[in-house]
Every structure is written in C-alpha cells, then in structure tokens.
Amino acid sequence: GDKGEPRPVAFAGYVMLNDDTAQDIFDIPELLIGGDTRYGLGWMKRVACSEATDFFGRSVQLSGNDPVIETKEVLAHTLPIHSHNFVGSYEQLAMWDFGVLSVGHLTWMPGSAVHSGATRWLIREDSLWERSH
C-alpha cells in the first residue's frame, strides 16, 4: 500500500505429480516462499486447486523423474546453454536450499528464448531448468 502495509497479490503455481502417491500435498493450506519470510513476505494461502494438463499453456511430460516442458521461452532461471540461437540476459543466482547457501549459478533469466523454436526443458529438483537431452 501507500504506507507500506501488506496487500494481497495473485500468484499461480503448479504442483507436478507423476503418480498418486503424494496426494496429501493438497492438504497444505499455506506456503512461505522467498528469503524474507520472517517479516511475513512470501506468505501464501491456497485459494483454489484444480487439475491441469499443461504448464502455463505449454506441453508438460511427467513420465520421468523430472518434469519436461516444451517451450521457446524459459519461464524460470535456466542453466547456460551455449547456442547462437538463444537470446536473453544472464543473471548470477544464489539461493538457500535446505539451510545451505548455493552461490555461483550463472543462469539465463526467465523470459530468455530460443529463436529456432520450442525446446525441451527439464525442471530440476532445485527448480532450475536445463536443456533436456
């Protein structure tokens, strides 16, 4: 707000499951996302949940250990690929994961794209994307 009071925002996300073993994840009513959760930033409350067959309008495959998305634009930080067909911006990424600081990932920023068309991207457990082989 004008005086710094918290205000609600909309946020859409996906939980990707390749079988029915983790259905209890839908019982989680809220999440804390981001680095400043001690101040209440990043507190998210689930409003709705529905089944989807795509990922923000893109094809998704859940048959392997990690989801694979087919898209021209990357929608998350992506490990470098060295290609003249890739355009966008690099960003140095540091993140906390399970209490351990991970520093030094040079990544393509979300919104970077492949000029030659859709490419298959694997979503890793740490949420970074990498080209699927």
Parent domain of 127 = 54-131
Q: Does pLDDT of 121 surpass 90?
A: yes
71-118: pLDDT as tens digits: 999 999 999 877 778 899 999 887 776 677 777 778 999 999 998 888
Does 116 map to a domain? yes
Does 74 map to a domain? yes
Confidence (pLDDT) at 15: 84
The better pLDDT of the pair 1, 128 is held by 128
Confidence (pLDDT) at 73: 94
Does 119 map to a domain? yes
The better pLDDT of the pair 116, 41 is held by 116
**d(C-alpha 57, C-alpha 55), whole Å:** 5
**Arithmetic mean of pLDDT, 48-72:** 90
Q: pTM of the entire structure?
A: 0.77
Domains: count for the chain: 1
Does 40 map to a domain? no
Q: Which DSSP string do the residues of 27-87 spell out, in sequence order?
A: G--EEE-SS-GGGTTTEEE-------SEETTEEEE-SSSS-EEEESB-SS-B-----TTEE
* Mean of all residue pLDDT scores within the chain: 83
Confidence (pLDDT) at 61: 92
